[in-house]
Amino acid sequence: MEITQRQKIIFKTIVEEFTRCAEPVGSKTLMELLDFPVSSATIRNEMATLEKLGLLEKTHTSSGRIPSQKGYRYYVEHLMEADLDVSTKNALQQVFSERHYSLEEVVQKSCDILSHMTNLTSVVLGPDSRHQTLQHVQLIPINNQSAVAIIVTDQGHTENKVFQFGTDVSMQDIQNCTDLLNDQLVGTPIENVVDKMKEIEPMMAAKLVRHEVLFEAFVSAFMRFATEKVAVSGRSNMLYQPEFSDINKLKQMMRILENGNLFHQWTDQEGNVAIQIGERNELLQIGDCSVLTTKFHYNSDEEGQLMVVGPNRMQYSKVVALMDYMSNVIEDVFGTDKNKGGANDEQRRK
């Protein structure tokens, strides 16, 4: 699609003003926002041309224009300038450098930050570990009633889990349990570990004094490990979006966000429009909703996704820049270096 430089500037201004204030943009507003002299009549003619091209739409309640679905796609592909200010970059770096986070904590923390900084709903998907195999288990005592379990898969995925036993467990029991689990479970697919543990429970009962406590703790840990890691944050932000003023529409969206299967069905339905943004970002349009996704890596084999869900009228440049940079920060936390999305080491240090 070929449009003139002036039309690009006018269109870009309309998109960014509408995403900011949620009000249709008219020629008088544009005259104040544009940094070059142009008459109201000329602006109206350009807006009419952009409407014919399918990039703008009229509303019933105003003479102004709003971007169409096609318009948002054009903006994201051709006009968007995604960048974050240095203070935001430093704040994100600081959050994740304060302490060592487990995978589960990183997923939840990322989700909370995204929803807070975008005022939208965020979804973070961690890697699916079910089809990996167990490579090593280590149980490190903290005191007589607690220990840290370290679970490692064949793909280098590591999970830490603190066990509170509620009763004294001897050092000998902890050592014997660790040896038994490594002897019997190594090489077992994560999704089958719980069933395998049930098979070896009689062996645990024969070798461990507190076998019931240790058995229940590890079964619980492996069940959590084998489930897809999903975090959702900022559902209530939907309440403040004019596009969700219809209570039935809002209720339906809340149900989708609270149910992983419904969410996948919603994003996978026929008729959705997806466009690629750079190497690892994607915009998915579902009716009057948009889902922005950014991929990130925990290691060379495992991939996760950051997602932001909101109306088509969202500040794409800010959201994409935030998600892209956060992905880099997460990869730094786990020591990966995919250099996706054009970021380099010098940018990450800023």
CATH of the domain at 39: 1.10.10.10
**Distant-in-sequence, close-in-space partners of 257: CB < 8 Å, separation ≥ 6:** 121, 123, 232, 235, 263, 309
Q: Using the 3D structure, point to which of 201, 225, 249 is the last residue of a domain.
A: 225
Q: What is the pLDDT of residue 346?
A: 37
Same domain, 122 and 259: yes
Distances (CA, A) of 142 to 168, 186, 325: 12, 24, 36
Cα–Cα distance, 26 to 235 (Å, whole number): 32
User: How many other C-beta atoms lie within 10 A of the C-beta of residue 132?
Assistant: 21
Same domain, 103 and 244: yes
Same domain, 186 and 68: no
Same domain, 177 and 300: no
**Number of domains forming the structure of the chain:** 3
Cα–Cα distance, 77 to 54 (Å, whole number): 15
Same domain, 216 and 265: no
Same domain, 60 and 116: no
Same domain, 290 and 192: no
Q: Using the 3D structure, point to which of 225, 254, 276 is the last residue of a domain.
A: 225
Domain span at 190: 134-225
Q: What is the pLDDT of residue 75?
A: 96
pTM (2 decimals)?
0.69
Q: What is the pLDDT of residue 227?
A: 62
Q: Which CATH number belongs to the domain containing residue 313 in this structure?
A: 3.30.450.40
Same domain, 124 and 240: yes
Same domain, 71 and 90: no
- With 0-12 / 13-18 / 19 or more C-beta atoms within 10 angstroms meaning exposed / middle / buried, residue 246 is exposed
Q: Using the 3D structure, point to which of 225, 249, 277 is the last residue of a domain.
A: 225
Written as tens digits, the pLDDT of the chain (350 aa) is 789 999 999 999 999 999 988 899 999 999 999 999 999 999 999 999 999 999 999 887 667 899 999 999 999 999 998 888 888 888 888 887 766 677 677 778 888 999 999 999 998 876 666 668 889 998 888 888 888 888 888 877 777 778 888 889 999 999 999 999 999 999 998 888 889 999 999 999 999 999 899 998 888 877 766 665 677 899 888 888 888 888 888 888 888 887 777 787 888 888 898 999 888 899 999 988 999 999 888 767 677 888 999 999 999 999 999 999 888 888 887 766 544 443 333 333 33
Same domain, 234 and 217: no
Q: Which CATH number belongs to the domain containing residue 171 in this structure?
A: 3.30.390.60
Structure tokens at 160: 């830490």
Cβ atoms of residues 141 and 178 within 8 Å: no
Same domain, 122 and 238: yes
Same domain, 307 and 164: no
**Length of the chain in residues, anyone?**
350
